[in-house]
Structure 1
Amino acid sequence: MFRKSTISCLLLFSLLKLSAQEKYELNSGWQCSNTAAVKVTGAQLSDPGYSLSGWTPATVPGTVLTTLLDNKQVPDPMYGMNNEKIADIYHIGRDHYTYWFVKDFAEKAPAGDAQVWLNFRGVNDGCDIYLNGHRVNSSTHYGAYLRQSYNITALLAKSGKNRLAVIVYPPQFPGNPNGGQGGDGTIAKNNGPQYTAGWDWIQPMRDRNTGIWDKVTIEKTGAIRIKDPHIITRVPGTRLPQGPQAPATVQVGADLENATAKSITGTLQYTLAGNNITRKVTLPPHTTTTVQLPDLLLRQPSLWWPAGYGPQQLYDLHLQFVNNGKTDDQEDISFGVREIQTYWNAHTRSREIAVNGQKVFIKGGNWITSDAMFRFSKERYDAEVRFHRDMNLNLIRIWGGSLTERPEFYEACDRYGLLVFQDFWISGDCNGRWVDPMKKEDQWTRRNYPDNHSLFLESVADQVKLLRNHASLAFWCGGNEITPPADLFAAMKDSIIPKLDGTRYFFDYSNSDSMSYNALGGNGDGPYGIQPLSTFWSYRTFPFNSEVGSVGTGDYESLERFLPAENLVPPDPETGKTDKVWDYHKYIAYNKAVDPYGKTKDLREWANKAQLVNYDQYRGLMEGFSSHMWDWYTGVIIWKTQNPWTALRGQMYDYYLDPNACLYGTRKGAAPLHVMYNPEEGMVMAVNNTFQYARDLMLELKTYDMQGRDSLLTQVFVEVGPTTVQPFMNMKPVLDQLKAQKGLFFSLRLLNARQEVVDENLYWLPDAKGNYSGLAEMKPAAITATAIRAGADSIRVTISNPAGAPVAFFNRVSLVDAPQKKRILPVFYSDNYISVLPGQQQTITISGGATATSKDALVEIYGHNVKRQYIAIH
C-alpha cells in the first residue's frame, strides 16, 4: 500500500521531544451484572475496594446478548429456532437487559499539564458513568450513534488503580416485534438501529443490541488535544489512473481543545511529500478552536480510484500540535487524494457519478451491518469488503435502518476501492411512508420519529466528523426510502453537512428523484426475488436503481451450519413449501426456478441446483443493467449482498463468510471488460467499464453440446471504447435452433493479440420447453487437478478436462481441513463455480490469511458432472 510520506514524517518526529501521549482500548477484563442484583449506587460500585464476587465476565465491546451468549446463558440466536428461546425485551421488560459493566484499569494521574480522556465510540442506548466513586457524565447519555469523551484527569486515583462502572439502559422504546418491518415501528422513536425489532430478512435481536457496543479507549495528551481532523482533497480536471498527474490540493484542519486554565501558544503541523505545513496559534483556556492549515499544492499526486478503474493509493498524514518543543497530541490519518463529482444525466434522468473527472457506472451492493449482534472486527470487515471487491462491485450502500458504519469498515473500503453511500437512520417502513397495519401509530405520528430531534442532529454532526476523511465515503443520504422530518432534513442538508464536510453530494433519500427520477409510473426499484432472466434485460426500472435482487440461499455445507439435522430437507417438490425453521430464516421460494433442472431427491442436490439459479440470476442482473449503461441506467445497487444473520435470502456469502454462487455470478456479470449474451433479443455485446480503449480483440463464439462436441460460430476482431456498451451480432436464430432438443452451452471469449483470454463467459441454454434436460443426461467428466502453494498465503489450483470429454460443468472449489473435510473460512477464490471446456484447463487462486495458517488442508472439488474429490496441496 502506498505510504508516500512515512520517511519524511519519521525524520521530523525524531527531532521532537515527544510527551507520553498514547491511546489504548479497554477491551478485556470487564465484568457485569444485571441491575437487579446490584444494591449499591454507582459511586459505591466504582470504588476499587468494592467486591465484585460472583459477577459475570463481560464482552466489551459487545451487547448484553453477546455477553449472555459468551457465558452460555442463552442459546445461539443464529441457529435453528433458538432465537425464540430468548426472552424479548418488549415482553419481559427493559430491566431484564439493564446491566452494570465494570472495568478495573491502571492509570496514574499525570503531572503538569498532561491530560487523560475516557472515550466511548458507541453505547446503545443510554448510560451513566462512574469512576473511582465519582459520576463522570453530568446527565445521562443517550443515542447509539453519539460518541462520548470525558476528561478524567482529576478523577484518576493517585495509586493508579482505577475502577470504571457503567450502567447501560436499553432503548426507551424497544417496540413490539410483531413481524412487521421494524416490528410495530416504535423502535424508530429512539436514536438507534431499527432492524433490531425484526425485518423481512432477520428476526428480532432480543436485547435490541443494548450495550457498550463499540470501542472504549483511554487517551493521554498534553495540554492541547487534537479533535476531529479534517482533510479535503481537490483534484481538478479529468484524470487518468496512469501517466503524469497535474497537481492536487490538500486542505487540512482540526479542532484544538485547550484543557488547561491558561492560554497556550504552539504549532499545528504536518509533513507530506517533502512539504512542511505549519500554523502557529494561541489557544485560550478551556476552549475548543477550529484551526485551518495553509493549503498544500501536492505535485504529481498518486490518486485514489474506485475498484476496477485504478489503484487505491493512500497517504499517511501525521498531524501534531507542538508546544515548547514537545508534542502535546498527534493524530495519524490515512487518506486518499481523489474528488467525487455528480451530474444530472438528462438522458437517463438520474444522477451520474464521476471520480477524478471520469464518469463511473455504479455497480453496488446494499449492506446492513457486519453482524446482527454488533460483534465487529477489522478482520471480518476486511473479509466482507474484499468479497465485494471480488464481485467487481464499486459501491456499497449502508441501509438506513442500521447504523453509520465503523471506521474499520471504511478503512477496508479505502483499501479495496469501494465507494460508500451512507444512509442516515431513517426508513420508510418505520418512519411513515406507507399505511401499515403492523404499526402502532399513524403515519403522521411516525413521520416525526425519532422523538428527540436535537439528539438526532447532534449524532449526525458527530458521525460526519468521525467518517469524513475516508476516501471511500462518497455520498450522504437522508434515509432509506424517505427523508427525515422536515426540520431535521433542512438542518442536515443546508447546514450540518455543508459546514462539516462540504465535499459530498447529499441524496434526499435512497430512491428519491434527486437520485433517480421515476418517470415510468409503477416501475421503480426492484424487482425483488427470482426473475426470468429476460426481466433484467428488458424490464426498465429506476434509472439509478437503489434496490434490486434478493435471493441467496447457500449450498448444503452452508445450510447445515444453522439448520438442525431434522430440518435439512428440501422444499416440497410439489408445493414448494418449507417447514417453520426455513420460514423463520426468511426463505424465498426457489422451486419454479429449480424445477427446470429436474426434480430433486435430497437437500444437497436441491442446494446445488439452487446455486445454478443463484449464478444465473446475478450474472443476468449485472449484465442486463450494464447492457443499458448510459441509456436506461447510470447505476444499480443489488438488494442485498450480505446478511448479518443466518437468513436464507439476500446474500452473496453466508453469515459464516462462506461464499455461494451469487458472488461468482455477480463477479462474472460485473467484470470490467465483459462479453455477454442477451437471452431475450439474442444480441452478443461487450461492456467496457474501464477508461481504456479495448482494441485488437478477437471475439470467439462457440457452442458445445452435452457430449462436449464444439462448433465454432464465428471469430472476428472487435474493439470497445471506454465506458461503453458495444453490440456485435444477433445469434438468437442459430442458437434457438441448436438448443431446441437438449439445450446447449454457448461459449463467448475475448482474446488479445497474444491469444490470451481477456474475458470469457459460458451460458447453459435451456431446450425449447425452457428445461435443462440435457444437463441431466451429461456423462461424468474425468478431470485431473493439481494444487500447489504459490506463496505464503496463496494456493494455485489447476483443473484440466481432457479433449473429447463433455464439459466439466459448474465446479465448486473449496479449501477444507483434512480430518473432517470442513471448509476453512474465510478464504478467497479468484473464481469459483467454474466450468472447464473439453481439452482446456482453468486455474483458480485461493488466497487469504486462512490459507497461510491452514497447514493440514486439502482442496475439495465437485461439480454437476464431476465427482467430489480431494486434492493434496504440494
Structure 2
Amino acid sequence: MKKIFLFCVLLLNLKAFSQQRYELNSGWLCVNVKDASASESQISTLGFNTSGWMPATVPGTVLTTLLNNKKVPDPFYGMNNEKIADIYNVGKEHYTYWFVKDFNESAAGNDQVWLQFRGINYKAEIFLNGKKVNQKTHEGMHLRVKYNITKLLSSTGKNRLAVIVYPPDFPGNPNGGQGGDGTIAKGLTTQYTAGWDWIQPTRDRNTGIWDKVTIEKTKGINIQNPHVVTLVPGKRLPGAKQAPAIIKVSVEVENPTGKAISGILQYEIAGKLVKKNVTVSAAASEIKFPDLTLENPRLWWPSGYGKQDLYPVNIRFISANQVLDQENLTVGIRQIDNIWNEHTKSMGAYVNGQKIFIKGGNWIISDAMLRFSDARYDAEVRYHKDMNLNLIRIWGGAILERPEFYNACDKYGLLVFQDFWFSGDCNGRWVDPLKKEDQWTRRNYPDNHPLVLTAIEDQVKMIRNHPSLAFWCGGNEITPPEDILNPIKNDILPRLDGTRKFFDFSNSDEMSYNAIGGNGDGPYGIQDPISFWAVKTFPYNSEVGSVGVGDYESLERFIPKENMIAPQFKSKPDSVWDYHKYIGYNQYINPYGKAKDAKDFAMKAQLVNYDQYRALMEGFSNKMWDWYTGSIIWKTQNPWTALRGQMYDYYLDPNASLYGLRKGSEPLHIMMNPLDSMVTVVNNGLTDRNNLMVQAKVYDMAGKDYFYSQVFNSIGASSVRRFFPLNDFLKKMDQKDGVFVSLKLLNEKQEVLSENIYWLADKNGSYKGLQELKSANLSVSANRTSKNKIAVTLSNPVGNPVAFFNRVALINRETGKRILPAFYDDNYLSVLPGETRVVTVEFHDGEGNLAVEVYGWNVERQKINIQ
C-alpha cells in the first residue's frame, strides 16, 4: 500500500511540472506600414495605442486579413481577382504590414519560455516588449524559427509581441507564364503565386505570418526534433502475427541555462519504456536511445492493403522527479523500400516487403491563400482514400505541407511523394519567352543557396516521423542546382532521415525510364478512353491526367449568373470560364447531344469525367507489372476555383471524376477492355482470391437484359487475369442505339464484390439511345443509421429502363444547399431494372435539418426527407 501511495505521489509530482504549449491564434491586430507612424520599440510596447488597427488573421496572409475585413472582394469568385491590386504593380510596401498580439506569460525559477513561428513569408523583424527578438532578419517562407524569450518577458506577465512582415523580394511579373516571369523563384517562396496554368496570380504572393505561432514553456531543458525510425525486415502480411520490428529513436536536447543538467531521458511506446541516463551541457546535442525490439507489432499499411495502426510516443526528460520537458508524437511501424523493376524499367514501391502498385494523385496545396485547417486536410485526404488511391505527390511549386496534412495521410493510408521547391518552368528547364531571365540564370534560382539548405534541413526534421511520408524528390521536372542537390543526397537526407528513396526530380529516369521521349509526363487534356488501354506511356508516370469541371451546383458557387454559358466546341469560352482555366471538352460532349445550356453541359461533362478517370486507372491497372509499376494523376485537387484537373471543387464538392476514379481504382475490380471487350479482373490485394464468379450481361435502351456468361474462377495476389471477350456477342446485339454492359464479380455467398456498368455508343460513335432514353421512376428512401450516417436506398422496378447516372446529394432541407463535405460510398451510379442499390452518406456530427436530393440522366430531380 505504501508503494502505491509513493507511486501516486510521484505521478502527481510529474504532472505538476508538465510542459505547457499553446498557440497565439486569435486577438492579433495589424496595420499597413505606411499607417504606422511610430518606432519598432514603441509599437511593441503595451502602452502603444492600436485602436485604429484591423483585426488580423493569424495564421494567415495579408490578403486573407483584407478579405476577412471586407477590404477586397473574394478573389475566388468570377473576375474579382482582377479588382485586387497586384504587388508587382503597386510595390511591396502595399502588402508590408505590422502585426501585434498581446498575451500573458511569465517565467519563474528554471522556467524557459520559447516563441516559435512555423512559417513567415517572406522577411520579418520580431519585437517583444520594446526589445528586438531576432538578431538576424528572418528570411524564407519554408523555415521554422524559434526564440528563447524568457529574459524579454515583462515582470507583470503582460506582454506585447510585434512583427513587421515584408513580402517576397522578387514578387515577379504575373505575365501569364508558369510562375509569371519566373523571378518569384529567386526567393524561397511559393512559385504558384505569380500564376500558373491552373491558377491566377495571388496578389500579395502569400505575404504574412502564414503558419502557427506557438508559445512553449519548459523547465530548463527543451526537447526538440525527435526522430523515430522503424525497421520491419522480411515480407509481411496484414493481420498476421508479426515477427519483431526494430525501433530507433533519437532526440535533440537543448539546455539554455548555462549549467549542466543531469536526469533520465525516456520514451514510451506500446507499453515499453526505454530510458537513458544523460547529462546535458549548455550546448544543444543529439541523444540516441538504445534500439528497441518490439514483439508482434501492429503494422501501418497503405490504403487498400491493410490497416493504418498508429502508436503514441511520449518522450520525457526527468530530473529530481520533475518533468523538465516532454514531446508527444504519433508513429506508424512500417518499412518502405524501392526495388528497380527490370521488366517495366521503373521503380517499384514496397511496404513491409510487399510490392505496392502505385495509384496516386498530384496535390498542389490545400488553399491558395493558405487558409489551412485540420478539418479541411482531413476531408481532402479522405477524398483521396475514397478514390481508392494510395499515394499523394506534393508538387514542388508550393510548400512542404503542414504536419496536420501528414497526420491525415497517416490516418487514411496515403503514401506521400514529397517534392522540394523547384519547378522546370521557373527554374530553367525550358526556353520560355515569358521569363525575364535566361535558362542559365534561372537554373540557379533561388539566389540564396545556403538558405535553401537550412530550410530543407528544418523541414525534413518537421515531417520525417510520419509513416505516410514515403519518397523525397529534388523538384518538379528539374533537379535543384548541383550545390543544393549534392548536399541533399549525400549529407542532409542520409544524416537526418536515411530511410526514404530520393528521386533527383519528378520524372527522372531513375524513377521511370523514359524510352518514349518527350518530357516524361502528361498528356493533360481529355483523351479517347481507349488510349489509356492502348498507348504505352511512362512506366511510373508522375503526371498523367485529364479535366474535371464540376456539376452545375459547383459552377454556381463562383461563376456569376450572367456568365453561365455552355462553352462550345472550337470557340473561345466565356471570359470567366477562360479566367478560371477551362480546358475544352471539345468533341467529347457532342456525342451526348450538343449542350443546350450550362446546366446541360455540366451534366454531360460528368459523363465525360467519369469515363475518363475510370478508363485511366483501368488502363494502367490492366498492364500492372507488365507496362507499369504505377501512375500519378495530374491532378486530383485545386486550391482555388479552377475548372481543370480536380476530383472535387475548392468547396469540397465531389464531381463524377472522383467516382469514376474510385470505380476504376477498386482493390478488387472487374472491367472490360475497350480494345477487344475482354472481361478482366484486377486483384491489388496481397492474397489470392478463390471461388469467384465472373458475370456479364447486356441491357438495351428499353431495359431488356441479355445474359451472356458467368464462370467460376480465381485470381492470384497482386495480379491481372483476363477471362472472356464480349466482342461477338456485342456484334450480335447490333448496338444500333448503344447498350449497357453490366459486369459483376461475386463470391460464393453471391455477394457482389465488384460491379461495373459501361454505356456503349452506337456504330456511329453517338449516344443516340441515351438521348432518347425513357424516364425511369426511381424509388428513393433515406434513413439515418447513426448520428453522422445516412443510408439512401434507390430501387428501379422491373420493366423500367436503366436508371442512368444518378447523383445523390445531401442537402439542407430548407435552403436546398449541399452539405459539404459529405462522403458517399458511391455516386453518379446507375440502377439496373429490378435492382436496389444503397448509398451510404457520411457527414460531420452536428449537421441537422437534412434531406437528400437525387437526380439522374433519365430520373427526375426529387427531394427525400430522412427517416
| TM-score after normalising by structure 1 | 0.97
Partner of 2:324 in structure 1?
A: 328
Aligned residues of 1:523 and 1:540 also touching (Cα < 8 A): no
* Percentage identity across paired residues of the two chains: 62
What does residue 3 of structure 2 align with? none
Amino acid at match of 2:111: A
The residue number in structure 2 matching 1:157 is 154
Matches within 5 A, 1:382-401: 382-401=378-397
In 2, distance between residues paired with 1:132 and 1:845? 55
CA deviations on 1:593-618 (whole Å, 9 max, x unpaired) are 11100112111111000000000000
State the partner residue of 2:4. Answer: none
State the alpha-carbon separation in 1 of the partners of residues 520 and 190 from structure 2. 26
Distance 1:577 1:734, change over 3 A: farther
Per the alignment, residue 216 of structure 1 pairs with: 213
- Following superposition, the deviation at residue 20 of structure 1 comes to 5.0
1:819: how far off? 1.3
Counterpart Cα distance in 2 of 1:621 and 1:13 = 57
Whether 1:766 aligns to 2:725 is no
Match for residue 627 of structure 2? 632
CA distance in 1, matches of 2:11, 2:672: 58
1:795 equivalent in structure 2: 790
Counterpart of 1:871, as a letter, is: I
What are the superposed Cα offsets for residues 62-100 of structure 1, whole Å, 9 maximum, x if unpaired? Answer: 000000000000000000000000000011100000000
What is the aligned counterpart of 1:735 among 730, 736, 745? Answer: 730
Find 2:495's aligned residue among 495, 499, 508. Answer: 499
Please name the residue that 1:607 is paired with: 602
Tell me the equivalent position of 2:80: 82
Contact 1:337–1:471, Cα closer than 8 Å, also in 2: yes
Q: Classify the secondary structure of the residue corresponding to 1:397.
A: strand
CA distance in 1, matches of 2:477, 2:553: 36
8 Å contact 1:739–1:766 — kept in the other structure? no
Tell me by how many angstroms 1:591 deviates: 2.9
Equivalent position of 2:847 in the other structure = 854
Residue pair 1:619, 1:670 contacting (<8 A) in 2 also: yes
Tell me, in whole angstroms, the C-alpha distance in 1 between the residues paired with 2:301 and 2:571: 45
* Residue 806 (structure 1) aligned to one of 801, 811, 814: 801
- For residue 866 of structure 1, the aligned residue among 852, 859, 864 is 859
Judging changes above 3 Å, is the alpha-carbon distance between structure 1 residues 523 and 460 closer, same or farther for their aligned structure 2 residues? closer
Per the alignment, in what secondary structure is the counterpart of residue 722 of structure 1?
Answer: coil
Residues 364 and 395 in structure 1, CA contact (< 8 A), matched pair in contact too: yes
User: 2:536 maps to which residue?
Assistant: 540
Q: Equivalent residue of 1:582, what SS?
A: helix
Q: Distance in 2 between matches of 1:11 and 1:831?
A: 55
Aligned to 2:202: 205
Aligned to 1:425: 421
| Separation (CA, whole Å) in 2 of partners of 1:848 and 1:717 | 39
Task: Say whether residues 1:271 and 2:271 are aligned partners.
Answer: no
Hey, what's the Cα distance between the residues in 1 that align with 2:296 and 2:236? 12
Q: Secondary structure at the match of 2:837?
A: strand
CA distance in structure 1 between the aligned counterparts of 2:461 and 2:15, rounded to whole angstroms: 29
* Alpha-carbon distance, 1:682 to partner: 1.9
Instruction: For 2:143 and 2:306, locate their aligned partners in 1 and report how far apart those are by CA, in whole Å.
Output: 35
- In structure 1, the residue matched to 2:38 is 40
Letter paired with 1:807:
V
Note the residue ranges of structure 2 that are not aligned, 5 or more in a row: 1-6
Q: CA deviation at 1:736?
A: 3.9
Equivalent pair of 2:124/2:139 in contact (CA under 8 Å): yes
Kept in 2, the 8 Å contact 1:576–1:591? The answer is: no
Q: For 2:397 and 2:366, how far apart are their aligned partners in 1?
A: 14
1:243, CA displacement in angstroms?
A: 1.6
- Say which is worse superposed, 600-609 or 387-396, in terms of deviation: 600-609
Q: Deviations over 1:139-178 (max 9, x none)?
A: 1100101101000000000111100000001000000000
Distance 1:272 1:734, change over 3 A: same
Q: Secondary structure of 1:95's match?
A: helix
Structure-2 change in CA distance of 1:17 and 1:661 (3 Å): closer
Aligned to 1:5: none
1:4 is aligned to none
Q: CA deviation at 1:29?
A: 0.4
Q: 1:12 to 1:743 in 2, by over 3 A?
A: farther
Work out whether residues 20 and 220 of structure 1, in 8 Å CA contact, stay in contact via their aligned partners in 2: no
State which of 831, 836, 847 in structure 1 corresponds to 2:831: 836
Question: What is the TM-score normalised by the length of structure 2?
Answer: 0.98
Residue 766 of structure 1: CA displacement? 0.6
Q: CA deviation at 1:38?
A: 0.8
- Give, in angstroms, the shift of residue 777 of structure 1: 1.0
**Counterparts of residues 109-148 of structure 1 (less than 5 Å):** 110-148=107-145
Is contact 1:736–1:768 with CA below 8 Å preserved after alignment?
no
The 1:38/1:515 distance shift into structure 2, 3 A limit, reads: same
SS in 2 for 1:415: helix
- Partner of 1:853, secondary structure, is coil
Deviation at 1:11, TM superposition (A): 12
Per the alignment, residue 818 of structure 1 pairs with 813
Deviation of the 1:559 alpha carbon: 0.2
CA deviation vs aligned residue, 1:793-842 (integer Å, no higher than 9, x gap)? 10011100001110000000000111121111111001100100000011
Mapped partners of 1:740, 1:516: distance in 2: 41
**Alpha-carbon distance in 2 for matches of 1:11, 1:543:** 62
Per-residue CA deviation, residues 84-139 of structure 1 (Å, 9 max, x unaligned), is 0000001110000000000001112x111110000000000110000000000001
Q: 2:163 aligns with which of 163, 166, 173?
A: 166
Q: 1:194 aligns with which of 180, 191, 195?
A: 191
Q: How does 1:645-660 map to 2 (within 5 A)?
A: 645-660=640-655
For the residues of structure 1 that align with 2:640 and 2:15, how far apart are their CA atoms? 49
**1:569-584 matched pairs, under 5 angstroms:** 569-572=565-568, 575-584=570-579
Corresponding residue SS for 1:867: coil
Q: Which amino acid aligns with 2:552?
A: Y
- Are 1:677 and 2:672 an aligned pair? yes
Q: Which residue of structure 2 aligns with residue 588 of structure 1?
A: 583
Between 1:588-597 and 1:376-385, the stretch displaced more is 588-597
Deviation at 1:272, TM superposition (A): 2.2
Alignment of 1:358-507 (within 5 A): 358-507=354-503
Matches of 1:465 and 1:523, distance apart in 2: 32
AA partner of residue 52 (structure 2): G
Q: How does 1:9-24 map to 2 (within 5 A)?
A: 16-24=14-22
Q: 1:775 to 1:14 in 2, by over 3 A?
A: farther
CA distance in 1, matches of 2:409, 2:651: 20
Please identify, of 615-624 and 275-284, the stretch whose mean Cα deviation from structure 2 is larger: 275-284
Question: For the residues of structure 2 that align with 1:675 and 1:523, how far apart are their CA atoms?
Answer: 33
Residues 1:343 and 2:339 are matched in the alignment: yes
Could you say what the CA RMSD is over the residues aligned between the two structures, in angstroms? 1.2
Displacement of 1:668 = 0.1
Counterpart of 1:674 in 2: which secondary structure? strand
Aligned mates of 2:337, 2:326 — CA distance in 1: 32
SS at match of 1:49: coil
Per-residue deviation at 1:10? 11
Could you tell me whether the CA contact under 8 Å between 2:546 and 2:612 is conserved in 1?
A: no
For the 8 Å contact 1:23–1:218, the answer to whether it is kept is yes
Matched, 1:226 2:219: no
Deviation, structure 1 residue 844? 0.5
Match of 1:243 among 230, 240, 243: 240
Checking the alignment, whether the CA contact within 8 Å between 2:178 and 2:196 is kept in structure 1 is: yes
Secondary structure in structure 2 of the residue aligned to 1:16: helix
